[in-house]
């Protein structure tokens, strides 16, 4: 059966044409939730329409789309990744949990984590440590703010005592610090460890090289610009062969669907579990979310991540100095290698962050305030001309009693 048609919409850098209902004058929350484009909405509706007309026939019509989306995501990851190296999960956290509970741990194994990580990339490792008797080793992020080299040196000191795995975010959520994923992977491998990457704060806006990465988990609702409830886990084939799938569901078996479509005699409970990434697909998929994700990634692929990152960087290059002139402290890295799609700042002394953020939203500038930072996170639809609106809104907010 052929997969349903893909979106026919075309993306254009700096154009909101595919977001006609977006209320904010300048939407800068892509590091939190991306708005739904016409492409996303129409593909999601196409799934629902097929289900409305055909029920089971609607599901069967969209089954081939899963494999096609995996190939699309594999192309986005690059590095020789194949579609079969990916499995769908509902969110990033589910991907972290699958890896944390499916490695062949031995008591005393060490897991290297980084201070300041989003809890999704901490809690599952803490739970695994309690269950399997692991040791968690913490690396401060401060050296990475000094330089990439200083951060790698701090990580190597942690690895010197031995480690089974290093877990890191591609981009740190509260400051926008972009971590040197490729270098961390090489460093981990030289010390006999694997590298796990939570990619949700980077994939879709910054280039990501996974050649030295063993596991990547990513939800689709931030920089990939899909909807909540659809994400993926990449597992390097060699790593997949070593995994012990302790959280598998009925769809994780070989020939899992045969008893439903091939007649009597195929219902068995002894089928082996697949030793590939798709073993994490426990049950019924979210076809609406997967269709939406394919549409949004198609738009990203049309433009190219390199071009998107250059566009977003130009936005920040305009905005950052004007904020600094007004007394904000920028957390954007001086080293371009450590920059991302997020520009995060601290407000001037005496300015109440919550009131400032609320005043900006009131003026049509949608931002967030993770961990005490004001975060500006534009994407490909944001026009560079919006920077002047943002600055005007900041001036208005600063003069409206936010101190």
**CATH label of the domain that carries residue 320:** 3.90.1150.10
Q: How far is CA 185 from CA 16, 155, 177, 324, in A?
A: 37, 11, 17, 34
Report the run of H or E that residue 358 belongs to, with start and end.
helix 353-362
- The tally of domains found in the chain comes to 2
Contacts of 313 by beta carbon, 8 Å cutoff, 6+ apart: 339
Q: Which of 264, 284, 300 delimits the end of a domain?
A: 300
Tell me: the pLDDT tens digits for 267-308?
Answer: 999 999 999 999 999 999 999 999 999 999 999 999 999 999
207 and 334 in one domain?
Answer: no
Answer yes or no: is 246 within a domain: yes
296 and 308 in one domain?
Answer: no
Please give the residue range of the domain that contains residue 117. 61-300
| Torsion angle of C-alpha atoms 281, 287, 292, 298, degrees rounded to 10 | 70
Answer yes or no: is 322 within a domain: yes
Answer yes or no: is 234 within a domain: yes
Closest CA to 13 of 388, 385, 391: 385
379 and 242 in one domain?
Answer: no
308 and 184 in one domain?
Answer: no
Q: What pLDDT is stored for residue 213 in this prediction? A: 98
In the chain, % helix, strand, coil (3-state, to 5) comes to: 45, 15, 45
* C-alpha span between 213 and 79 (Å, rounded): 10
Q: What is the reported pTM? A: 0.96
336 and 232 in one domain?
Answer: no
Strands 343-346, 374-376: pairing is: antiparallel
Q: What pLDDT is stored for residue 1 in this prediction? A: 72
Q: What pLDDT is stored for residue 370 in this prediction? A: 97
Answer yes or no: is 126 within a domain: yes
Q: What pLDDT is stored for residue 329 in this prediction? A: 98
> Which residues in the chain come in under a pLDDT of 50?
none
372 and 257 in one domain?
Answer: no
Count CB neighbours of 401 within 10 A. Answer: 9
Q: What pLDDT is stored for residue 3 in this prediction? A: 87
246 and 135 in one domain?
Answer: yes
* C-alpha span between 139 and 112 (Å, rounded): 7
263 and 321 in one domain?
Answer: no
Q: What pLDDT is stored for residue 99 in this prediction? A: 99
First to last CA, the chain: 62
Inter-helix orientation angle 123-132/92-100, to 10°: 20
Strands 135-139, 343-346: pairing is: unpaired
Q: What pLDDT is stored for residue 79 in this prediction? A: 84
Q: What pLDDT is stored for residue 403 in this prediction? A: 58
């Amino acid at each position: 059966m052929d997969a349903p048609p893909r979106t026919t919409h075309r993306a254009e850098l700096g154009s909101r044409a595919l977001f006609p209902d977006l209320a904010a004058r300048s939407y800068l929350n892509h590091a939190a939730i991306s708005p739904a484009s016409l492409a996303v909405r129409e593909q999601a509706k196409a799934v629902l329409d097929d289900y409305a007309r055909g029920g089971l026939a609607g599901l069967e019509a969209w089954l081939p789309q899963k494999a096609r989306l995996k190939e699309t995501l594999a192309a986005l990851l690059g590095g020789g990744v194949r579609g079969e190296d990916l499995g769908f999960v509902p969110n990033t956290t589910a991907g972290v949990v699958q890896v944390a509970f499916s490695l062949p741990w031995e008591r005393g194994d060490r897991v290297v984590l980084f201070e300041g990580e989003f809890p999704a990339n901490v809690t599952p490792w803490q739970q695994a440590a309690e269950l399997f008797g692991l040791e968690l080793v913490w690396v401060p992020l401060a050296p990475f703010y000094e330089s990439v080299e200083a951060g790698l040196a701090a990580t190597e000191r942690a690895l010197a005592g031995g480690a089974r795995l290093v877990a890191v975010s591609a981009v740190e959520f509260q400051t926008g610090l972009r971590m040197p994923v490729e270098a961390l992977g090489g460093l981990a491998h030289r010390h006999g460890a694997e590298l796990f990457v939570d990619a949700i704060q980077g994939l879709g806006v910054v280039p990501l090289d996974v050649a030295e990465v063993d596991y990547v988990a990513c939800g689709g609702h931030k920089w990939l610009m899909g909807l909540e409830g659809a994400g993926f886990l990449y597992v390097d084939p060699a790593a997949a062969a070593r995994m012990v799938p302790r959280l598998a569901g009925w769809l994780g078996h070989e020939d899992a669907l045969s008893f439903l479509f091939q007649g009597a005699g195929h219902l068995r409970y002894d089928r082996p579990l697949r030793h590939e990434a798709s073993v994490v697909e426990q049950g019924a998929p979210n076809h609406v979310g997967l269709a939406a994700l394919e549409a949004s990634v198609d738009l990203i692929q049309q433009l190219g991540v390199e071009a998107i990152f250059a566009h977003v960087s130009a936005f920040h290059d305009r905005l950052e100095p004007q904020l600094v002139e007004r007394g904000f402290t920028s957390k954007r890295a001086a080293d371009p290698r450590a920059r991302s799609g997020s520009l995060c700042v601290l407000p001037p002394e005496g300015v109440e962050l919550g009131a400032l953020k609320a005043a900006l939203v009131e003026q049509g500038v949608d931002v967030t305030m993770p961990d005490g930072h004001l975060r500006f996170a534009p994407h490909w639809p944001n026009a560079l001309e919006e920077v002047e609106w943002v600055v005007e809104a900041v001036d208005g907010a600063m003069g409206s009693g936010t101190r």
